[in-house]
Amino acid sequence: MLRALLCAAAFALPVSAFAFTASDLNRLCMKTDVASRAACAAYVEGAADGVFNTIDAIGGTTGPRVGQYFCLPPDARSAQLTDAVRKYIAENPNVAGYNASTAVSLGLGRAFPCKSGS
């Protein structure tokens, strides 16, 4: 029985993860309870790490170093990243249906662009 539940969960997770949109992320980040705020920050930070490392690993095509779409300052705080992403989503309503990680990448790219020589 437990094995069947684990298999069902494994098939359900990829579907739900794929469906997490920029609008869903923004709704999560608007909540004020501690768990939601932590989940929002964790998603933004995790997506930022994933996007940066993936693009860097496959040899992307932009940025001062190949693969960089955004350049976070070393002292960047979680709240700054979350605020930048939420601002981008608010100012660009057309991204509401995009995958949430795409919105994170675009928002951070707008707020923390790479400069030549970075």
Helix (H) or strand (E) holding 45: helix 34-58
Residue 92, domain member (yes or no): yes
Residue 87, domain member (yes or no): yes
Residue 64: CATH number of its domain? 1.10.890.40
pTM above 0.85, yes or no: no
Residue 45, domain member (yes or no): yes
Distance in angstroms (rounded) separating the CA atoms of residues 74 and 95: 28
pLDDT surpassing 50 at residue 13:
no
Number of H helices, E strands in the chain: 5, 0
pLDDT for the residue 7: 40
Per-residue confidence at 4, pLDDT binned at 50, 70, 90? very low
| Total number of domains in the chain | 1
Distance in angstroms (rounded) separating the CA atoms of residues 35 and 106: 25
Residue 40, domain member (yes or no): yes
Residue 75, domain member (yes or no): yes
pLDDT for the residue 3: 47
Residue 11, domain member (yes or no): no
Residue 6, domain member (yes or no): no
Give per-residue pLDDT as tens, 76-115. Answer: 999 999 999 999 999 999 999 999 999 999 999 999 988 7
Residue 100 sits in which domain range? Answer: 20-111
pLDDT surpassing 90 at residue 26:
yes
Give per-residue pLDDT as tens, 30-68. Answer: 999 999 999 999 999 999 988 877 766 666 555 445 446
- List Cβ neighbours of 112 (8 Å cut-off, separation of 6 or more): 70, 71, 72, 73, 76, 84
- 71 touches 114 (CB < 8 A): yes
Residue 10, domain member (yes or no): no
- List Cβ neighbours of 116 (8 Å cut-off, separation of 6 or more): 64
